[in-house]
């Protein structure tokens, strides 16, 4: 199949039939977007450099950014990455779930160089979504997948978000409805002496530090480039400008509220969580940014979000959305 020449992206149903069809496409070197508990991933067989190259091309993603290899179980993860006792503890505590471990690549691992961007490490996770694990198992090997959006756009939490960016550019989307977590996985590097938080995400820093019994270094303290491209300034960017820590919504702005601060204000306002629940807010974040962006207003005013638990990941994504555009 000539992937430059796709016309229609199939929407495959949840269930065994859809999984089987999606796996057939992956095994033939195609691209399938699939649901995870965090966001939709754009999957290709991680062992197939041509298929992985097609991911970079479909997303318009700089090819030096490594991809996460999604695996179905811990046995498969151990064939790809070298586990130390810290990795064992974190895998036992948080997999399946929104945690990616960056480990030294295992001898005989199947994830191709291009998917690892030439690094001698590999990012691994087991997603907490039955369709995703079924697809990985049926594909017969790890599935490399970045978020299923055009590079620099907001991550997709629904099949319609995937299609808005990638319709006609990829073979299929496996329809798993909405992603419950809504922000990407937390990424922890276990390459060095100290564990390093490369990207805050769906598992809180405190949860990880509790399991490890030590604190996580920030990326800037512990690791040289290349770091997670989620750290690039304007990575999660809507078209509208974004104003953080807004105490009110000004003329010409849409409002992204938290905990009902903007209640009763006129204009276009969405509340991430009227009851101030950070888990609910994370799940709504990308959908609401897209909806407010579609309102056509010039700027989105965002209410303050507490920097605790999932709030760290939410604020990280919002700061990137607010960063000056390159
Ligand atoms: O929740 C998620 O993590 C979603 C779903 C689809 O699993 N995926 C996702 O992928 O957010 P992506 O490509 O948008 O972000 C993956 C991050 C990148 O910032 C990349 O640099 C980092 O993981 N990464 C992957 N392998 C790495 C490695 N060996 N060393 C350092 N960073 C790595
Ligand atoms: Mg992404």
Spatial CA neighbour of 114 closest among 156, 168, 174, 62: 62
Choose the weakest-confidence range: 22-31, 55-64, 256-265: 55-64
Q: How far does residue 267's CA lie from ligand 2's centre (Å)?
A: 30
Give percent above pLDDT 90 in the chain: 70
First vs last C-alpha separation in the chain: 35
Q: How confident is the model at residue 148 (pLDDT cuts 50, 70, 90)?
A: very high
What homologous superfamily is domain 10-218 in, according to CATH? DHBP synthase (3.90.870.10)
Nearest CA to ligand 1 atom 7: 41
**Ligand 1 atom nearest residue 183's Cα:** 1
pLDDT given for residue 62 in this prediction? 61
Tally of CA atoms within 13 A in the half-sphere of 174 that contains its CB: 33
**Ligand 1 atom nearest residue 42's Cα:** 6
Spatial CA neighbour of 300 closest among 272, 264, 275: 272
The number of the ligand nearest the C-alpha atom of 313 reads 1
Between 33 and 64, the more confident residue is 33
Instruction: Summarize the confidence of residues 244-257 as an average pLDDT.
Output: 96
- Average pLDDT over all residues of the chain: 90
Would 10-218 and 241-322 be classified into the same CATH topology?
no
b/e per residue, 239-270, with b = 16+ CB within 10 A? ebbbbbebeebeeebbbbbbbebbeeeeebbb
pLDDT > 90? residue 284: no
pLDDT digits (tens, 9 = 90+) for 89-119: 999 999 999 999 999 999 999 999 878 877 8
| Domain ranges (residues) in the chain | 10-218, 241-322
Q: How confident is the model at residue 3 (pLDDT cuts 50, 70, 90)?
A: very low
Q: How many residues does the chain have?
A: 326
pLDDT given for residue 174 in this prediction? 98
Ligand 1 neighbours by CB, cut-off 6 Å: 36, 38-39, 41, 65-68, 98, 100, 102, 116, 119, 121-123, 145-147, 184-185, 187, 198, 228-230
Spatial CA neighbour of 117 closest among 191, 53, 51: 53
pLDDT given for residue 269 in this prediction? 97
With contact defined as beta carbons under 8 Å apart, do 172 and 10 qualify? Answer: yes
pLDDT given for residue 6 in this prediction? 54
Q: Could you tell me the fold of the domain covering 241-322?
A: Rossmann fold (3.40.50)
pLDDT > 60? residue 293: yes
Nearest CA to ligand 1 atom 32: 228
With contact defined as beta carbons under 8 Å apart, do 126 and 11 qualify? Answer: no
Choose the weakest-confidence range: 26-40, 196-210, 275-289: 275-289
Spatial CA neighbour of 87 closest among 319, 264, 95: 95
Instruction: Summarize the confidence of residues 228-242 as an average pLDDT.
Output: 66
């Amino acid at each position: 199949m000539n992937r430059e020449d796709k016309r229609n992206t199939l929407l495959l149903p949840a269930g065994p039939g859809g999984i089987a069809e999606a796996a057939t496409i992956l095994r033939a070197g195609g691209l399938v977007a699939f649901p995870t508990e965090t966001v939709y991933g754009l999957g290709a067989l991680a062992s197939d450099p041509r298929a992985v190259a097609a991911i970079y091309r479909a997303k318009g993603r700089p090819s030096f950014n490594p991809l996460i290899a999604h695996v179905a179980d811990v046995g498969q993860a151990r064939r790809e990455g070298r586990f130390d006792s810290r990795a064992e503890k974190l895998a036992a505590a948080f997999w399946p779930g929104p945690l990616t471990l960056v480990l030294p690549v295992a001898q005989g691992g199947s994830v191709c160089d291009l998917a690892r961007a030439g690094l001698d490490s590999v990012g691994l996770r087991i997603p907490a979504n039955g369709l995703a694990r079924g697809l990985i198992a049926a594909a017969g090997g790890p599935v490399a997948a970045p978020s299923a959006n055009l590079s620099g756009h907001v991550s997709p939490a629904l099949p319609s978000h995937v299609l808005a960016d990638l319709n006609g550019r990829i073979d299929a989307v496996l329809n798993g409805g909405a992603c419950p977590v809504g922000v990407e996985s937390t990424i922890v590097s276990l390459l060095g002496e100290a564990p390093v938080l490369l990207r805050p995400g769906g598992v809180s820093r405190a949860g990880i530090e509790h399991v490890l019994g030590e604190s996580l270094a920030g990326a800037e303290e512990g690791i040289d480039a290349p770091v997670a491209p989620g750290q690039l300034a304007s990575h999660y960017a809507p078209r509208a400008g974004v104003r953080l820590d807004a105490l009110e919504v000004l003329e010409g702005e849409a409002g992204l509220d938290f905990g009902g601060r903007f209640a009763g204000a006129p204009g276009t306002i969405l509340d991430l969580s009227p009851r101030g629940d950070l888990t609910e807010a994370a799940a709504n974040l990308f959908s609401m940014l897209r909806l407010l962006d579609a309102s056509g207003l010039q700027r989105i005013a965002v209410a303050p979000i507490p920097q605790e638990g999932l709030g760290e990941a939410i604020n990280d994504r919002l700061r990137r959305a607010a960063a000056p555009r390159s």
